[in-house]
Chain A
């Protein structure tokens, strides 16, 4: 447990002190929340504005999770590889999965902070979420599922792309492209049929739609994602991506040649 806790603390502190991770994970989604609020939707009727602002804040909270998992995690692993920290870890009595678990828990703490801050920015600009106490654990559960998928994709990137800049740019690029393609950054209803199908399979998009559905209803979500089949698919896909990430991390990133 000490090893995992040590790795978790290190990971959380490192991320919170990295200007790049603060910008991409917290500032950038927050900027979009503000931009949406003051420009794109400002001409909407006053009575729906708080809900509309809420409905654009949630995707940015999910986007913060995506950037944290897909870009910050690969950045820290690639940095470790490049400066020799990973070689040092491999020489110590540490197993890859303990290191991984510590890193991911540290990232989870940082991601939670990012999500809260983006939500607060949304609230400060007038967004309202209509979150009932009964819905809170469900919403948190979906956020954790979304985090797991993002961290899984990030671990795959970290394992396969050794160059630091390459890992960061791949993570940012993949986050932006998949967010645009899957309806995280655009209304689900505006997607063509093929991308709507992708949005239902892509767990991060499904998580986003589920939270929007719970908070604002089916009109904002574009479809009804809270069905047994859809939720099971989302959880299974997240677990599968995370598992692939862990396997690649221990077999590729920690490979002794």
Chain B
């Protein structure tokens, strides 16, 4: 059964077409990640599903209902920190639970239960302004875990969290959601998307690929990736690495570069030499399995994450 059905969805702002005929089906209970760079249209898509934006054309259904008629089924976690900083964590959850129609006593019980399950009981009485980024993200996710919610819409929920906090966050969400609750995660982080059962890649307002993380990697044809960590990055270093990449493209990462090569053993000493010639100090070279970031880069020539 489809929890979410999107067919031929378009959204335009003046002359700017942000979504260009998106098709998407998400099954009941499925964890689906929509991955794309900034400006790809992913936040617009999730905002239409959350009924904060209206589509220009196309069909959008949540359990067969228009998004505005299905708001009782949706738990939307926007990208921004939307909880109220002057209220405590508990007061925030009670407020949002009451907006869903729960009585004050029920809302208080639900809030206490969720705070305990999210490991926030000790800080329940603290104002949210005193919460750490991770605590606030967990609290905000809790507003999408109330009973009756069947579709969680998470827009970049781990922004600002370190990798281990991100893993813990998704572990908790997976544990706490009901079996029939579907998750649509919008992200630009391949490592977050890897946790989903199915991933859709979006670029320029179009879906450019869809499948399990393994299927996408297989379809992309990327087999081996050489990851190079350097003391500093430069255009000369990136250009020097181009010759070792099978398709001539080099992906910049936070700590260096990634490129595709079938012959790691042969390429490694040459890479070190080439970088040395352009004055780039190599810290580490290793062969790694391809990630979804590599898949996206292979398909579009664009890095999915914006780099500093």
Contacts and interface: CB of A to CB of B under 8 A. Distances in A.
A18 interface: yes
Contacts of B83: 85
A240 to B, nearest CB: 29
Nearest to A15: B86
A88 B95 contact: no
B71 A92 contact: yes
B256 to A, nearest CB: 34
A149 B166 CA distance: 48
A83 to B, nearest CB: 6
A248 to B, nearest CB: 19
A85 B99 CA distance: 13
Interface residues of A, number: 24
A14 B83 CA distance: 12
Contacts of A87: 47, 50, 52, 76, 78, 80, 82
Contact of A93 (B72, B91, B103): B72
B143 interface: yes
Interface in A8-30: 9-10, 13-14, 17-18
Nearest to A10: B95
Size class of the B contact interface (CB-based, 8 Å): 35 or more
B189 interface: no
B84 A14 contact: yes
Contact of A84 (B54, B80, B107): B80
A10 B80 CA distance: 19
B76 A14 contact: no
B252 to A, nearest CB: 30
A5 interface: yes
B99 A6 contact: yes
Nearest to A4: B98
Interface in B59-84: 68, 71-72, 74, 76-84
A88 B78 contact: yes
A94 interface: yes
Contacts of A7: 95, 98-99
A158 B11 CA distance: 27
A83 B82 CA distance: 5
For B52, B91, B101, B103, the residue with the greatest tally of chain A CB atoms inside 10 Å of its CB is B52
Contact of B81 (A3, A14, A84, A257): A84
Contacts of A90: 50-52
A176 interface: no
A256 B52 CA distance: 6
A91 B143 CA distance: 12
Interface in A210-257: 256-257
Nearest to A99: B99
A6 B83 CA distance: 14
A149 to B, nearest CB: 27
A89 interface: yes
Given A87-B50, A92-B99, A93-B101, 6 more contacts: A6-B94, A10-B84, A10-B87, A84-B80, A91-B52, A93-B71
Interface of A: 2-3, 5-7, 9-10, 13-14, 17-18, 83-85, 87-94, 256-257
Top 8 A-B pairs, shortest CB-CB distance = A6-B98, A84-B80, A91-B76, A84-B82, A91-B50, A84-B78, A17-B86, A93-B71
Interface of B: 47, 50-54, 68, 71-72, 74, 76-84, 86-87, 91, 94-104, 107, 127, 143, 153
16 contacts: A2-B98, A2-B101, A2-B104, A3-B99, A6-B94, A6-B98, A6-B99, A17-B127, A84-B81, A87-B47, A87-B52, A88-B76, A88-B77, A92-B74, A256-B52, A256-B54
